[in-house]
């Protein structure tokens, strides 16, 4: 009903558009026509923008797949009611269907009565992607592209992804002993399996649609002169995605990483993106934009937004766990107790080790044979997992209870020592009122260290907590502290030439 009212509001006299101010259409309209920004500036900002929406770990709030499906059917019935040419019989049937769905929803338990495991929780999040976001994201980007063409004079580039998705389900180990490295690995495999399966469905549908023969020289050469060049390419993609589905499913079930020739499967998003873009460019060059702008465009945009990892996992762990692991390492190396060192000593040692190429621990030796406690082994095995997982499976490493610069340096060093080739973004989480008030000083200290500044290459992500600070000081005082600390950190970042991204835990 809200959608129906929005559509009515959008339509002015004689069908003229009257954009709602807080829609993408209304926002762009206001920026350009109120002379706040030039169309070129707005378009460039859209192309640079990246907002990541993170599905977080709250088991009781995950909608049951059953309820998602029922609500989807109600939506479809309501849309069918809006047809102007419904006969009396069709209206009676729609009423019957609507009553049936509402009665079924009324009698269905909306809540899960048993706490889901982290894997079950992650599957619930992936159900939301499959049943809602898989359609909603390309639909929104198609609308945004239309607004860009109409008001800015340029389309939205196909591979631009102003919206991306990520997840904490299966990666948030802060105080949750059920989230182990094995669980994180299983969830990453399930996520990749879901992506491969959904993209395989798109490719098979495109095979039915793209029976076109006219193609660019590049595509003709790639397809070896096939009579139907698009179907030739799509058949090849279908075979590799089918193998990818089998590979990820086997890994998710066994918990092992089955070796396989990477020419038979897809692990890198760019490998799938390149042939899709080549087909799109070929159709444009042959004067067939109306064909290129169908499912092929939606598939390319889905790939840009979700990638082959579907929902990259963020990891989260308490700062005390990293300090405990480093204490075990320094004692084994007979350097003393890391936990007993003051902050200055910790920073000096961490910066020296970050700049050094010498490993802290002997490589290849099982951690349990080094005499470490179970919690230390779990922490260090998590970093070993980060080094082994397919690149792109993980996103950020969030440090909860981050109180000082050494907490950030510790995670940076542990990633380097584990041999992580593409380090995760190390994200300090300032959540209590005291942490927020110290945050500016913490970031100033970090950015003043050449070893750390060289490592981050001009970019830093920072998470601002909302619930803990509100519990400490009340909502109004917490809101003021959050605003003030962000302003201070932005200024510090600018002074050091660091671009900041804020992750809002709200």
Q: Token match 């599957």: residue? A: 123
Q: Which of 40, 99, 388, 471 is catalytic?
A: 471
Q: At a CB cut-off of 8 Å and minimum separation 6, what does 449 contact?
A: 347, 351, 405, 409
Structure tokens at 357: 């190429």
Measured distance CA(239)–CA(215) in Å, rounded: 22
3-state secondary structure 46-74: HHHCCEEEEECCCHHHCCCHHHHHHHHHH
d(CA 54, CA 66): 23
What would the DSSP string read from start to end of 83-143?
A: -TT--HHHHHHHHHHHHHHHHHHHHS--S-SSPPPHHHHHHHHHHHIIIIIHHHHHHHHHH
**Catalytic hit among 40, 58, 388, 504:** 58
Tell me, yes or no, if 471 is annotated catalytic. yes
Strand-by-strand arrangement of the 313-318 sheet: 51-55, 163-167, 313-318, 394-400, 425-430, 459-465, 499-505
Residues 427, 431, 433, 435, CA torsion sign? negative
Distance CA 153, CA 140 (A): 18
Note if 58 is an active site residue. Answer: yes
Tell which residue, 439, 400, 415, has the closest CA to residue 326. Answer: 415
CA-based radius of gyration for the chain: 26
Task: Output the DSSP codes for 227-250.
Answer: SSHHHHHHHHHHHHHHHHHHHHHH
Burial 151-164, CB ≥16 within 10 A → b, else e: bbebebebebbbbb
What are the catalytic residues? 58, 471
């Amino acid at each position: 009903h809200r959608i129906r009212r929005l559509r009515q509001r959008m339509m002015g006299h004689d069908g003229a558009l009257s954009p709602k101010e807080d829609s993408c259409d209304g926002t762009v309209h206001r920026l350009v026509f109120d002379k706040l920004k030039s169309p070129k500036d707005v378009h460039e900002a859209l192309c640079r923008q990246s907002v990541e929406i993170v599905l977080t770990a709250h088991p009781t709030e995950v909608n049951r797949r059953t309820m998602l499906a029922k609500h989807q059917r109600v939506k479809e019935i309501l849309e069918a009611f809006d047809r102007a040419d419904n006969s009396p019989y069709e209206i009676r049937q729609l009423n019957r269907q609507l009553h049936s769905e509402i009665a079924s929803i009324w009698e269905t338990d909306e809540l899960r009565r048993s706490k889901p495991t982290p894997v079950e929780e992650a599957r619930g999040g992936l159900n939301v992607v499959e049943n809602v976001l898989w359609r909603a994201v390309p639909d929104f980007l198609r609308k945004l592209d239309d607004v860009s063409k109409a008001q800015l004079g340029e389309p939205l580039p196909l591979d631009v992804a102003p919206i991306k998705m990520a997840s904490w389900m299966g990666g948030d180990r802060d105080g949750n002993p059920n989230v182990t490295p094995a669980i994180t690995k299983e969830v990453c495999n399930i996520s990749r399996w879901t992506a491969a399966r959904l993209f395989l469905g798109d490719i098979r549908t495109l095979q039915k649609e793209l029976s076109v023969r006219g193609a660019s020289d590049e595509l003709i050469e790639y397809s070896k002169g096939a009579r139907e060049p698009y179907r030739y390419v799509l058949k090849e993609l279908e075979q590799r995605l089918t193998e990818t589905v089998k590979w990820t499913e086997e890994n998710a079930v066994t918990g092992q990483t089955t070796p396989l020739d990477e020419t038979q499967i897809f692990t890198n998003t760019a490998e799938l993106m390149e042939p899709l873009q080549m087909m799109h460019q070929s159709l444009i060059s042959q004067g067939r934009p109306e064909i290129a702008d169908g499912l092929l465009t939606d598939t390319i945009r889905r790939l840009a937004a979700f990638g082959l990892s579907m929902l990259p996992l963020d990891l989260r762990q308490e700062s005390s766990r990293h300090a405990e692991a480093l204490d075990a390492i320094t004692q084994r190396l007979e350097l003393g107790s890391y936990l007993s060192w003051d902050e200055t000593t910790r920073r000096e040692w961490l910066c020296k080790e970050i700049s050094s190429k010498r490993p802290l621990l002997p490589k290849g030796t099982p951690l349990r044979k080094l005499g470490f406690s179970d919690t230390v082994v779990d922490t260090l095995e998590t970093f070993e997992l980060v080094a082994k997982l397919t690149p792109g499976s993980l996103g950020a490493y969030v440090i909860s209870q981050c109180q000082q610069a050494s907490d950030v340096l510790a995670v940076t060093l542990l990633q380097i020592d584990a041999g992580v080739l593409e380090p995760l973004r190390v994200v300090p989480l300032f959540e209590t009122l005291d942490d927020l008030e110290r945050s500016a000083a913490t970031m100033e200290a970090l950015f003043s260290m050449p070893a750390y500044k060289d490592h981050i290459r001009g970019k830093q992500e920072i998470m601002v907590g909302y619930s803990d600070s509100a519990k400490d000081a009340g909502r109004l005082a917490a809101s003021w502290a959050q605003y003030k600390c962000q302003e201070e950190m932005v200024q510090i970042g600018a002074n050091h030439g660091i671009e900041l991204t804020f992750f809002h835990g709200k």
